[in-house]
Structure 1
Amino acid sequence: MNLDLPDKPYDRCGVAGCLAPQGVNASAVAIEMGKALQHRGQNGGGIAVKPQGQILRVYKEARAFNEIFSSTEIVDQNSLKGEITIAHLRYPTEGSRRRDCDAQPFHASHQGWEVALGHNGNVVDLKKHRRKLAKFGIRLESDSDSEILAWLIVTAPGFTWRQKIAQSLCDVKGAFSLVMVTGDDKLIALRDPWGVRPLVWSQDNGHAFVASETCALDRINIPHSQKIEAGQMLIADSTGVTIAQYLMPQKRSFCVFEKLYFSHETSIWDGVIGQNRESLGSQLANEEYARIKSQKIRRETIEAIDYVVAVPDTANPGAYAFYESLANKLSPKLKFRYKRGLVKERYDHAKRSFIEDDPYLRKKDVEKKFFISPSLIGKSIYLIDDTAVRLTTFSILVAHLLKIGVKTIHCRFLAPRFVNPCFLGVNIGSRDELGAVTKDKHGNYKTLSEDQIKRKLNVSSLHYLTLGGMARSLNMTQEEMHSSHCTGCLDYNNPFDMRPYDPEYPKTPYAKFQKVNLPEVIQPKLTAQLV
C-alpha cells in the first residue's frame, strides 16, 4: 500500500486572470480569484503581471498559492502590480512536486512575441512537440507540458496572436484550458477543441475576468459569467473583449469528475455543482432501494443501521441527499439518522508539506486526518464517500473505525469505480495505483467485483453508483453522457483514441474484447488562417 499517493483524484491546476483599466492594479483581484481556486492545486502557484508600457514580470513558488500571497509583501517587493495579471495554482504529477521551476505561469519570448501562460490540463503527445522546439534551439527549464505550449505559441507562424495560437495548437492532443498575458498588453484565454476542462469569463466596470470556475468570480462579487466554449479563444485589451472560434470543436468531452468531485460545490457549470452532487446521492439511494427490494441486501440489515456518515468534505452534499431520499422511501420505523460522525482536521494536518518516511508514521498521519465522534462506537453505519481511487486513505479510515469500536460498516460510493488512469490532467498515472483493479498471473488487468472490494476493506457491504445511475443524476441517458463528457477513467470513453498514449492498454479487458468507445476521427480545422 503506497501511502504517498493520495486517495482522491486531483485535478492538476486552476487558472484566473484579470484585465483592468489603465492605471488600475489587477494583481490584487487576480490573487483573490486564485485563492478561491485553492482546491484545484496546493503544491505550486504564481502570477504574471503586465503593467502597461513596462516589462512582463512573473513570480512563482512551489508552495500553496494562499501561502505565497498571504500578505502584500511579495507583491510590493517584486513590483507585481499592473493592469493585466494572470494567476495559476498547481497540483503536479508524481516526481516533480516541489520545484519552483515547475510552478507556473511559464514565460516564453521569441522574435518579439512574448507570453506568460498558465495551463489547466495535460498534453499527451509531447514527444513530437519537443522535436519541433529543438529546431529553434530552445532549452526548457522544466519537464512541464505547459512550458512546451508557451514556446509552441511564440514560435508558431502567424501575424496575430489568434493565428499563432491556432497554428501551434491545431495538432496538439490533450486537455488545455489556458490563460495568457502577452507582451503587447493582451489577456488571452482559451479551451481545447474537446472542452475537457472548464473556463469562464465575465466583464464589469471596464474589467475583464477569466477563471477555471465561477467561485473565483463570486470571490470578487462578479455574479454573472459565461462559458468559454470548446475551441474558443477570448482576447481582451484596452479596446474591449472579443471571442472567436480558433479551432473547430471536436467530440464534446467535459470531464465528468469536474461535476462529481473537482469543482467547488458553489460553482456553476450546467447547473450548480453542489446540486449535481445531491443528485448523485439521490440516485445512489434509488439504487440502494432497488437492491433492498430485490433482496441483494436484506431489509433487516438496513433496519440495524444507526447512522449515515459522510467522509468529509466533498461527500457531504451527496451523503445527506442519500440519507434523505432513502429515508423517504423506507418505513418511518427505520431508525437510522444522518450523523456528522467524521470531522476533517483543518490545521495541523493541512499544514504538513510532506508525508513522513516511516510507514507507521504515515499510517498515523492518515488516522489523524479526521476527528471521529465517540457516538459512533458500538453503532452500525452507512459510510458514504464520493470516490476513493486508490483505497489507501479509505482503507485506513475503515480499519480505524472498526478498531475504535464501530460495529459494522456499509460502504457506499457516489461515483462508479475508477478502472483506468487519466491522461488529461488528473493525478492517476497507472492502473497499478487503482484500488478497484488487480492483475492476474499473466499480468493482465482485471476489475475487482464489489464483493472482492468488500472483502479487501473488511466491511459488511459495499456498492458503487453505476454508470447508468451517474448519467441519470446528470439528467442524461448513458449515451448522452458519453457524447458530451469524458468518462475515460470509468469506461475508456475518451475524447480521442487514447490507445497510442496508454502503454498498459494491451493488458486491459478492452484490448481482449475490443470494448472501447472510439470517437469519430475529425481533423481539427483552423479558423484563423494565415494570409
Structure 2
Amino acid sequence: MKREYCGLFGIYGHQEAARMAYFGLYALQHRGQESAGIVTWDGAAIREHRGMGLVHDVFNERHLGKELKGQIAMGHIRYSTTGVSLIRNAQPFLVRFKDWHIAVGHNGNLVNTLELRHELENEGSIFQTTMDTEVFVHLIAKYLNGGTIEEAIQKACAKVRGAYSLLILANNKLIAVRDPHGVRPLVIGRLNDNYVFASETCAFDLIEAEYIRQVEPGEMIVVEGGRLSSLRLLEKAPKRQCIFELIYFARPDSMVFDEGVYERRKTMGATLAKEAPVDADFVMPFPDSGNYAAVGYSQASGLPLELAMIRNHYVGRTFIQPSQDMRNFSVRVKLNPVRSMIEGKRILIVEDSIVRGTTIRTRVKKLRELGAREIHMRVSCPAIRFPCFYGIDFSSKGELIAATTPVPDIARFIGLDSLHYLSVPGLLDSVNEKDAHCLACFDGNYPIATGCHQGKMCLENESKVTG
C-alpha cells in the first residue's frame, strides 16, 4: 500500500486569492484525499475553512466568494502519515500568538517529533493535535519573543530533524521553507504580479501561472508587500530529494526537482527494456501509474503497447481509502481487463512499484482465468525493502514483500512467469541528478539520522512519521 502525504499551495496579492488556492488544491488532489483547508489574510484578520474529504466537497461558493476574504491565501490537502484522520488534524494549522496570526501547512515528516513534544510540554506547551506540524507552531511561538518571524522560523528549523516543505502565513507575510536536504518538493511561480507557491507545477498550469524555479533546499522565501526576498535558512546539506516523486507520486505533467516527470518515467521504462527484455506479444500497464513507463518500454523494445486493462475513472486511488474492506472493493471495481486481448497471449505488464503484492496478485489471477498463456512483469523502480520515515506512509517493513522475500518467490506468489525490478544504477541513469536523491526505501541508507546504530533508522517501535 502506498499513501501519499500532502499538497501545498499559496498565493500573495491576488484579488481572488481563496479561489486561486481552491484551483491550486484541486490540481494537487492526487497528493491527498483526506482533508483540505484554506486560510486567508485580509489585512486585519485571518480567516479559515477546513474540512474532511475532497477539495470540491469541502469548499463551496459561499466559502470562496464571501467568507475567505483577503489577497493572501494558502491551502493544504492531506493524507496523514502522522496524526489520525480527524478534522482537528486538518491543515493549515492556525494559531494566534500575541499580535501574530500564524498558519502553517506542512508536507513531509519529522523524525524527532516525540523528543520535541516532550521538551515543549515540559516547558508548558499544550498540544491540540497529534500532528508533527504543531511542533513547528510551538517552536515558532517560543522563538518569536523578541525576534522577527524569520528569525523564529530559522531557529525552529534548526531544532527539527526530518523532511519538510512549509508554507507559513504570518499576518501580511507568506513564507516558503524547504528543508536542507530538499526531500519534499516546493516550487515558486508568478501569476501576473502575484507570487505563487505549490508542491508541483501542475497547480500553476491550471491557473496559468509561470513557473520560475524550485525553492532551493535550505532556503526561506519571504513575500511581503508584493516583494520577494530569499534567505539562507540553514547550512547546505547534500540533496536527498525523494525519488518516488519521479517514480510515482507527482502528476506526469508536473516539473518536480526541475525534472519533467513524464520524460523521467518514460526513460525508466526504456532502461527497464534494456535490462530485462521479454519475448511477448505486447506490453500493457496497470493504469494509470504504469502508463508512462510502459510507453518507454514499448518504444525501446519494439513491442506494441496495448491498453488491455481499462480503468473506471470514477473510483479513487485504492491506497487512499482508509478502510481495508473498501480498498479491496475498489481493487475489483477500479480495473477490468479487455477479455478479447488476453486469451492465449504472452503478456508483459509494466508496473511502477510493488509494495505488498496483494493487489497485483488479484489482477494477475484474473488474467490467468481469462486464458493468458504467459504473464511477465517489469517494475520501473527497485524493490522496496525499507519503510519511509520522511512523509510516505509505506507499510511497516514486515508488510513490504521485498523486505523478506526473494524475487523468484515474489514472482511465484503473484503468479508470474518472470519478474524483474529496475536496478538502482538503472534508476539513477534515468534521472538528471544522479547523486541528489533519497534511496532509503531501496537500500536502507537513511540520509537524516535518528540516533539509531550506524545511522540506520530504528525500524521497529518507531511511530509512524505528516502529511
TM-score w.r.t. the length of structure 1 is: 0.81
Give, in angstroms, the shift of residue 502 of structure 1: 3.2
Larger radius of gyration between Structure 1 and Structure 2: 1
Q: Which amino acid aligns with 1:484?
A: A
Q: Which amino acid aligns with 1:187?
A: L
Check if 1:20 corresponds to 2:13.
Answer: yes
Give, in angstroms, the shift of residue 93 of structure 1: 2.7
Q: Which amino acid aligns with 2:294?
A: A
Q: Deviations over 1:232-277 (max 9, x none)?
A: 0111121511111121121211111111111111111332110000
Q: Which residue of 1 aligns with 2:402?
A: 436
Q: Which residue of 1 aligns with 2:154?
A: 166
Give, in angstroms, the shift of residue 350 of structure 1: 6.3
Q: Which residue of 2 aligns with 1:10?
A: 3
Q: Deviations over 1:293-342 (max 9, x none)?
A: xxxxxxxxx44x22211011121111011011012xxxxxxxx5210011
Gapped regions of structure 2 (runs ≥ 5): 462-467
Alignment of 1:269-418 (within 5 A): 269=256, 270-289=258-277, 302-303=278-279, 305-327=280-302, 336-348=303-315, 363-374=328-339, 375-418=341-384
Check if 1:92 corresponds to 2:80.
Answer: yes
Q: Which residue of 2 aligns with 1:449?
A: 406
Compared CA separation, residues 498 and 429, structure 1 to 2 (3 A): farther
Distance 1:341 1:394 in 2: 15
Q: Deviations over 1:376-425 (max 9, x none)?
A: 23322001100121212111111122123222210110000000000000
Q: How many residues align?
A: 455
Q: Which amino acid aligns with 1:502?
A: M
Give, in angstroms, the shift of residue 137 of structure 1: 3.1
Q: Which residue of 1 aligns with 2:440?
A: 488
TM-score w.r.t. the length of structure 2 is: 0.92
- Does structure 2 conserve the Cα–Cα contact (< 8 Å) formed by 1:253 and 1:494? no
Give, in angstroms, the shift of residue 369 of structure 1: 1.4
Compared CA separation, residues 181 and 502, structure 1 to 2 (3 A): same
Compared CA separation, residues 402 and 35, structure 1 to 2 (3 A): same
Gapped regions of structure 1 (runs ≥ 5): 1-5, 290-301, 328-335, 439-447, 507-531
Check if 1:466 corresponds to 2:453.
Answer: no
Check if 1:62 corresponds to 2:52.
Answer: yes
Give, in angstroms, the shift of residue 495 of structure 1: 2.1
Q: Which amino acid aligns with 2:332?
A: E
Compared CA separation, residues 373 and 95, structure 1 to 2 (3 A): farther
Distance 2:169 2:316 in 1: 36
Distance 2:391 2:318 in 1: 25
Give, in angstroms, the shift of residue 128 of structure 1: 2.4
Compared CA separation, residues 434 and 242, structure 1 to 2 (3 A): same
Instruction: Give the 3-state SS of the residue equivalent to 1:393 in structure 2.
Output: helix
Compared CA separation, residues 57 and 113, structure 1 to 2 (3 A): same
Distance 2:368 2:395 in 1: 31
- Does structure 1 conserve the Cα–Cα contact (< 8 Å) formed by 2:446 and 2:457? no
Q: Which residue of 2 aligns with 1:197?
A: 184
Distance 1:503 1:198 in 2: 25
Q: Which amino acid aligns with 2:304?
A: R
Give, in angstroms, the shift of residue 25 of structure 1: 2.6
Compared CA separation, residues 376 and 209, structure 1 to 2 (3 A): same
Compared CA separation, residues 67 and 366, structure 1 to 2 (3 A): same
Distance 1:355 1:17 in 2: 28
Give, in angstroms, the shift of residue 429 of structure 1: 4.7
Compared CA separation, residues 186 and 363, structure 1 to 2 (3 A): closer
Distance 2:313 2:4 in 1: 21
Please point out which of 14, 22, 27 is paired with 1:36: 27
Compared CA separation, residues 322 and 350, structure 1 to 2 (3 A): closer
Q: Which residue of 1 aligns with 2:61?
A: 72
Deviates more, 1:225-234 or 1:346-355: 346-355
Q: Which residue of 1 aligns with 2:464?
A: none
Distance 1:86 1:356 in 2: 30
Superposed CA RMSD in Å reads: 2.2
Instruction: Give the 3-state SS of the residue equivalent to 1:224 in structure 2.
Output: strand
Compared CA separation, residues 504 and 136, structure 1 to 2 (3 A): closer
Q: Which amino acid aligns with 2:431?
A: L
Distance 1:94 1:396 in 2: 30
Instruction: Give the 3-state SS of the residue equivalent to 2:305 in structure 1.
Output: strand
Compared CA separation, residues 277 and 234, structure 1 to 2 (3 A): same
Q: Which residue of 1 aligns with 2:209?
A: 222
Compared CA separation, residues 368 and 251, structure 1 to 2 (3 A): same
Instruction: Give the 3-state SS of the residue equivalent to 1:337 in structure 2.
Output: coil
